[in-house]
Structure 1
Amino acid sequence: MTLETLAPAADVDADAFDEAVLDALAADEYVFKVWGGDWCGDCQRQLPEFGAALAAAGVPDDRVEAFPVTKGPSGKEGELVDEYDVELIPTVVVESADSEELVRFVEEEDISIAAFLARRLADVEATA
């Protein structure tokens, strides 16, 4: 099973993204773990733009791990859902190269996933 909604939106221009957001996403050490479902309205609305932001930032595919989620009788089901305590989707976890969780986006915010992560990553960098 794949997470097709993470494919970059064709109608999003790379120039539409703030340079600071792209720079934050492009940092070499980050790994993006993305949980979502192609059936999920929030994922359909948010993940294509996030995929486009990752592409515009030049994030290589080997630093983006997509985990499709299904609806089960007791909640969300899928790879690493329990290990990462994923209850709402989309969920995006940004980890350092040594697998330390740095930032987490869960379901929805007032700004895009990319902008939310960029702001939180700036905070992480400022306190490092």
Structure 2
Amino acid sequence: MAMSLETMEPNPVWAADAYPDTVDVLTAYGPDLVVHVWGGDWCKDCRSQLPDFGAALEAAEIPGENVHHYPLDQDKQGEGVEEYGIEYIPTVVVEYEGEEIARFVEDEPVPIAVYLADEIEAELGPVEDDA
């Protein structure tokens, strides 16, 4: 069984309606995305950022089998580190049809989900409004 990151447990107070565009993008493309998350439950940045990201994935109903956790030890060693060139955590890589289309590394001025949704939209195109 794959290991999981406790820090990816969705933050119960995260407000999806505060991030409607982010959730729309993740929802629209979610079934076709594969999300790889490297982190450590011991890592302060992971503990502060990943619960909100977990909540965003949940709000967007990203299928659980499309989200892969890679817990790393304090030397940042673990599964996929070499293959994906992981140096800092949290790192989140989003793949679409087997190709990497977005990557969040450690810290950005916006939350992980917002950053990745922007990258996904830039790569795959804007989500059509149903208005």
Q: Give TM-score scaled by structure 2 length.
A: 0.88
CA distance in 2 between counterparts of 1:68 and 1:21 reads 25
What are the ranges of 5 or more consecutive residues in structure 2 without an aligned counterpart?
A: 127-131
CA distance in 2 between counterparts of 1:126 and 1:10 reads 30
Does the CA contact (< 8 Å) of 2:46 and 2:89 recur in 1? yes
> For residues 26-37 of structure 1, what are the structure 2 equivalents within 5 Å?
26=27, 27=29, 28-37=31-40
What are the ranges of 5 or more consecutive residues in structure 1 without an aligned counterpart?
A: none
The aligned counterpart of 1:80 is 80
Identity value in percent: 48
Which segments of structure 1 move beyond 6 Å, counting only runs of 4 or more? Answer: none
Which among 48, 51, 67 is matched to residue 48 of structure 1? Answer: 51
Structure richer in helix, relative to its length: 2
The aligned counterpart of 2:74 is 71
> For residues 1-128 of structure 1, what are the structure 2 equivalents within 5 Å?
1-16=3-18, 18-26=19-27, 27=29, 28-72=31-75, 76-97=76-97, 99-126=98-125
CA distance in 1 between counterparts of 2:69 and 2:4 reads 8
Other structure's SS at 2:74 match: strand
Aligned residues: 122
Q: Give TM-score scaled by structure 1 length.
A: 0.90
